[in-house]
Chains A and B, each alone.
Chain A
Amino acid sequence: MVLGLVPPAVIVLTAALLVAVLPRDIGHAIGIAATLGVVAISWLVPGGAHVTVTLFGSADVGFRAVLYNVDVFSRLMGLIFGFIGATAVLYSWASDADSTQTAFALTYVGSSLGAVYAGDWLTLIFCWELMAVTSTLLVWHYGGAAVRAGFRYAVLHGIGGSLLLAAIIWYLTDPAVVAAADGNPLVFSSHVDGAVEGGMLAADSQVPAILAAVGIGVNVGFVGLHTWLPDTYPRPHVAASVFLCVYTTKTGVYGMYRAFPDGHLWIAYMGGAMAVFGAFTALLQSDMRRLLSYHIQSQVGYMVAGVGLAGASVGYGGAKYYYDALAAAGAFGHVFNHILYKGLLFMTVGVIIYRTGHETLDEIGGLGRKMPLTAITFAVAALSISGFPGFNGFVSKGMIIGAAEKKHLDVLWYLLLLGGVGTFLSFIKLGYFAFVEGSYDGTVKDANTGQSVALVSVAGLCVLFGLFPDLLFELLPFQGEYEYHTFTIPHLAEGVGLGLIALVAFAVLKGPLHHVGKVPDIDYAYNRAFFYGGRALIVGTTEAYAAVDRLAVRFVRTCYWVGNNPTVAVQRVDRRLLGPGRAADGGQASRLYLRAGVGTTVLILGAVLLLFLTLSLLL
């Protein structure tokens, strides 16, 4: 099948090239067609299709790389990446994004697709780094404050990518991996013989696992490594934010699963921490896109928790049906759903910014009456992300929380529930202050036609997958290995209950929450540490270099002088060692007489001989 030989990344990257050169309308149409083509390919190409090449040498010495690998995980990622890509291109077109920006965005989409369709670590890290570069370009393209934020973003992702690369290199040389790999240590694709199972934990050493966790942790926004998210995503064009909110973090979750297919308890707890930290920090924000960015961290926290729980050894494994399969399926289901509602949230907020020009909640209000479509689609997205029954977030979030509960990891379970309260709370805040409370002076139009198509189609899917979760289960991995019923009384009670708690809390906290002001995150500390540390390093290095340089120059100059004035040099040394007053010619002798005559030499000869004989015979 020809389709099975064309990697989706190639299609999208080609489209990106066309978008850059063709007229804007045609270009965006091609962009939509290409991304929809990716959906079709992802749907049609059966699992097992793969393209294998040998890099850097012949078959026996080179690296076997799997450039294109289709299995249930990459297929799910390809489907949703393609679909949201198409709506985002449509949204870009409708929101006056220029062609260059969309071209950058499509290269970013293409490199993400390359990463999720990679069958080996080399291809994955290549696309991973390319993704960091293209997303930085997408941010930079907007100019202004986005440039500096983009720089910080690039630095952090450079560090993260390098850590992952280091992990891969370490992993490749690990004896256990080499022994298990049968010549293909790079490959994790299950379609290739000799692929290594178990990810980074297959190595004897713990080092690759730690490096990979931290390196991927940058991409998924581990607490402490997350500051690039709220720093970068609010800055560029509203349409660029729609792209950004989808690909980097979700490719990160996918990579986390590839690196840790058997999960890890620490990763699960980190996910719980992210869920809580992200949700409650979001609550304190008034910049709308900044609030949404913290919620990316929070929601990705659920996915990371799902990945962390995906091992039988993490918590209680289950008897007939396996809760680790439930957790992994939940993680990927949440990736799928999250892309839909988070894309939708950024689109609705983007419409508000596009129509009003205001970024923060302090400057707007009462828009619900003027922008009904936007308000309704926002409500769908907000209920989805909060996990309200009947919307898609409820399904997948429930799977992860359920897995945590069934595995008897109570602390994690409570963390995830608490994150849910925070999520409800902050979306009640966002919706209330943007659409309900207050009023907005001046005329505001609702979303335009192109935006409306994008909004409604994504919102429709949110509801569809919320009401008919079996449609989603068809796409998820580990079908039949777990048992999960979406609409049970405890689940429904949980979803509604969290919402009620949040409503009560919001009623109490409404006043303070409206005027929080700017809340510093830890990047306040480390931006300064980086800046002053960097300056100290540069000044230190420069000064040290200058000092060494001065010394070297002085030394060379002295040598040069001695070379040119050897006799004077000898006499100076002589005077210093033996004291002044010995120079017979006023210290300016130009000649040093050192020659030994015949007699002296024979005397020396005799002395040396004596030395030898004494040493050899007497001592």
Chain B
Amino acid sequence: MSELLPALLIVLPIVGATLPLGVGLLRENVGWSIAALVLSVEAGLAAWLAAAVYGGEGAARIVHVLGGETFGRRGATENFVVGIELVADAFSGLMVLLVAGVALAVLAFARRGGPRGNAFYSGYLLLTGGLMGLFLTGDLFNLFVFLEIVGLTTYGLVASDRDAESAVAALKYLVIGTTGASLYLLGVGYLFLRTGALNMVDVSRSLAGEPEWIDGALYGDPLVLAAFGFIAVGLMTKAAIYPLHTWQPDAYAAAPDAVTVYISALVSTGGAYAFARVTWTVFTSEFFAVGQNARILELVIVLACLSVVLGSGLAAMQRRLKRLFAYSSVSQFGLIVIGVCVAVHPAGGTQATRLAVYGVVIHLLGHGLVKGGLFATVGALAHGTGARRVREYAGLAKRRPFLSGSLAVLGLAIVGVPPTIGFLGKWYLAVGALNTRLWPVIFVVFASTLLTLLYVARLLEKLYFDGPAEGAAPAAGPEPEGPGAPGGADGAVITDGAGSLSYGMIALAVSAAVLTVLLGFAGSALTDAAQPIAQAVIEAAPEVSAGG
């Protein structure tokens, strides 16, 4: 039964996506309820899958072949897979949990704050299905398909405000995102040309020269090298690494608040996950150990370091909160990409690999949680007080203590202050980098904390230590915390008439902050969960299977 779960997780939201439109013909405003129902079931399935993966000794690798075993592997394992495999292992299992959790939680925000209408919820469910596919697929071409599903639905959701700014942002995202995906597809095409396979495991084995019809390893082949270049550039575009990030701040800033929460938590995460997956288990560390191949990796590291430094700098220069945190994501994904590269860099030993893998996995999860929480908090504050710019945050802590507290906790988590999950991720990344002795990288990783503090400290200072600016206070006297408080001052972008704060928003923000701190104490559980991944990367194995 658990073999069916990966397919169910993808199919359920996609099929569910037709319901709001279909049932919407009969009744108004059923979208939220249907989405809530479908995503609750989805969350249950995700939990079941996680239990199946992590329930036994080590971590299981659950494989589902679409179309049944007819299309699966025949006889010897050397035979290629004919059809498409969906794979739930230690890596994708964690990510599926994140997707299901975030998708369900963001509904709490969208209930009052989000774009309304059944079409939005169709898109929302479709996006969830796409993300599930992105994390679960074991096939390179199928990964492209899901990247496109995710991309197209995101373009649509970003534009769901129907105002000019978001339309332009969505268009920019559409063009750049599709270009990136196309580059990825070109890379996959090259790999297919050389190996005749699309399944990740098969491609990886072919690159290593395991099948008898291939003469030795293909790691030095120009076609394979070019393939990695195309794939890296394509996926770095999706993950918004400097200087390929330009779509991201516009899209995040222009999208409706609920959509920003969702895509900031998951969409770039999908790109970074795909990059890690392909780098670690398809190309593997052995690819980078050959000849001058490590140089490509170093080019990626250079861009990622630039991303860390310039992303933080640009974030510090922003006035609008949503743009600020968008640039913060550029910086944080820079860190994650550094970790991905450090893990397979020939300069690092086993220990560097292990720690870097832990760092990447924990920071992927942690960043999704923290950044989603930050956007939820920022959105809730905007709904509650109309404040969307940094200077409007002056003295807000007195009026919105809970939301301000969440913002402070989540902000410190993104800085990497213990005991938060943000600290854990950065800690492992930093120690992993230390083990490689690549000194510029180490410097950047440690400096990232200070750079992050640059914009977080400014926010905290405004919130807690600055009185309301002259004339900026929308209303005199204390406002009651909670729904119904008058909001929407000048120029706040509010759609569908949703201008008020809901308990759902506060609950989302506060629970994200609480979870951030709680997970900060779960370091050993998280590293245990990531241990099989680290083992696979160390052994350059194409499959993440039960770890020892």
| Pair A605/B296 contact, Cβ less than 8 Å | no
In the complex, the chain A residue whose C-beta lies closest to that of B223 is A617
| Pair A605/B233 contact, Cβ less than 8 Å | yes
In the complex, the chain A residue whose C-beta lies closest to that of B295 is A615
| Pair B317/A605 contact, Cβ less than 8 Å | no
Q: Which residues of A contact B222 (CB under 8 A)?
A: 616-617
Size of chain A's interface in residues, with CB distance under 8 A? Answer: 27
Q: Which residues of B contact A570 (CB under 8 A)?
A: 317
Q: Provide the bound-state CA to CA distance between A609 and B455, in Å.
A: 31
> Is A596 part of the binding interface, using a Cβ–Cβ cutoff of 8 Å?
yes
9-residue interface stretch from A29-37, A62-70, A559-567? A559-567
Encode B221-252 as 1/0 by CB contact (under 8 A) with A: 01001101110110011000001101100100
| Pair B458/A616 contact, Cβ less than 8 Å | no
In the complex, the chain A residue whose C-beta lies closest to that of B233 is A609
- A508: shortest Cβ distance to chain B, in Å? 78
Assess A608 versus B303: contact at CB under 8 Å? Given A598-B172, A613-B229, A617-B225.
yes
> Is A595 part of the binding interface, using a Cβ–Cβ cutoff of 8 Å?
yes
Is chain A's binding surface mostly helix, strand, loop or mixed?
A: helix
> Is A58 part of the binding interface, using a Cβ–Cβ cutoff of 8 Å?
no
Q: Which residues of A contact B236 (CB under 8 A)?
A: 608
Assess A602 versus B229: contact at CB under 8 Å? Given A567-B317, A595-B246.
no
Q: Provide the bound-state CA to CA distance between A550 and B161, in Å.
A: 51
| Pair A609/B246 contact, Cβ less than 8 Å | no
> Is A601 part of the binding interface, using a Cβ–Cβ cutoff of 8 Å?
yes
Contact with A604, one of B230, B246, B293, B455 (Cβ below 8 angstroms): B246
Size of chain B's interface in residues, with CB distance under 8 A? Answer: 35
Q: Which residues of A contact B229 (CB under 8 A)?
A: 609, 612-613, 615-616
- B184: shortest Cβ distance to chain A, in Å? 11
| Pair A605/B244 contact, Cβ less than 8 Å | yes
> Is A2 part of the binding interface, using a Cβ–Cβ cutoff of 8 Å?
no
Q: Which residues of B contact A609 (CB under 8 A)?
A: 183, 229-230, 233
Encode A526-570 as 1/0 by CB contact (under 8 A) with B: 000000000000000000000000000000000100111011001
Q: Which residues of B contact A489 (CB under 8 A)?
A: none
- A388: shortest Cβ distance to chain B, in Å? 76
> Is A507 part of the binding interface, using a Cβ–Cβ cutoff of 8 Å?
no
| Pair A563/B175 contact, Cβ less than 8 Å | no
Assess A598 versus B171: contact at CB under 8 Å? Given A564-B458, A605-B176, A616-B226.
yes
In the complex, the chain A residue whose C-beta lies closest to that of B454 is A563
Encode A587-605 as 1/0 by CB contact (under 8 A) with B: 0000010111110111011
Query: Which parts of A492-519 form the interface with B (CB within 8 Å)?
Result: none
Contact with B299, one of A563, A604, A605, A615 (Cβ below 8 angstroms): A615
> Is B292 part of the binding interface, using a Cβ–Cβ cutoff of 8 Å?
yes
> Is A611 part of the binding interface, using a Cβ–Cβ cutoff of 8 Å?
yes
> Is B316 part of the binding interface, using a Cβ–Cβ cutoff of 8 Å?
yes
| Pair B243/A602 contact, Cβ less than 8 Å | no
- B165: shortest Cβ distance to chain A, in Å? 12
> Is A619 part of the binding interface, using a Cβ–Cβ cutoff of 8 Å?
yes
Assess A612 versus B247: contact at CB under 8 Å? Given A602-B179, A619-B292.
no
- B397: shortest Cβ distance to chain A, in Å? 18
> Is B514 part of the binding interface, using a Cβ–Cβ cutoff of 8 Å?
no
Q: Provide the bound-state CA to CA distance between A617 and B293, in Å.
A: 10
In the complex, the chain B residue whose C-beta lies closest to that of A597 is B172
| Pair B232/A601 contact, Cβ less than 8 Å | no
Q: Provide the bound-state CA to CA distance between A616 and B230, in Å.
A: 11
In the complex, the chain A residue whose C-beta lies closest to that of B298 is A615
> Is B180 part of the binding interface, using a Cβ–Cβ cutoff of 8 Å?
yes
| Pair A563/B233 contact, Cβ less than 8 Å | no
Contact with A601, one of B233, B247, B458 (Cβ below 8 angstroms): B247
> Is B217 part of the binding interface, using a Cβ–Cβ cutoff of 8 Å?
no
Contact with A608, one of B243, B316, B455 (Cβ below 8 angstroms): B243
> Is B41 part of the binding interface, using a Cβ–Cβ cutoff of 8 Å?
no
Query: Which parts of B308-324 form the interface with A (CB within 8 Å)?
Result: 314, 316-317
Q: Provide the bound-state CA to CA distance between A605 and B242, in Å.
A: 10
Q: Provide the bound-state CA to CA distance between A596 and B454, in Å.
A: 24
| Pair A559/B454 contact, Cβ less than 8 Å | yes
Assess A596 versus B246: contact at CB under 8 Å? Given A605-B176, A612-B299.
yes
Chain A positions near chain B (C-beta within 8 angstroms): 559, 562-564, 566-567, 570, 592, 594-598, 600-602, 604-605, 608-609, 611-613, 615-617, 619
* 16 CB-based A-B contacts, threshold 8 Å: A563-B457, A563-B458, A566-B317, A592-B317, A601-B246, A602-B179, A604-B244, A604-B246, A605-B237, A605-B244, A608-B236, A612-B232, A612-B299, A613-B229, A615-B295, A617-B226
Chain B positions near chain A (C-beta within 8 angstroms): 171-172, 175-176, 179-180, 183, 222, 225-226, 228-230, 232-233, 236-237, 243-244, 246-247, 250, 292-293, 295-296, 299, 303, 314, 316-317, 454-455, 457-458
Which A-B residue pairs are the 6 nearest by beta carbons?
A612-B229, A566-B317, A616-B225, A601-B246, A596-B246, A563-B458
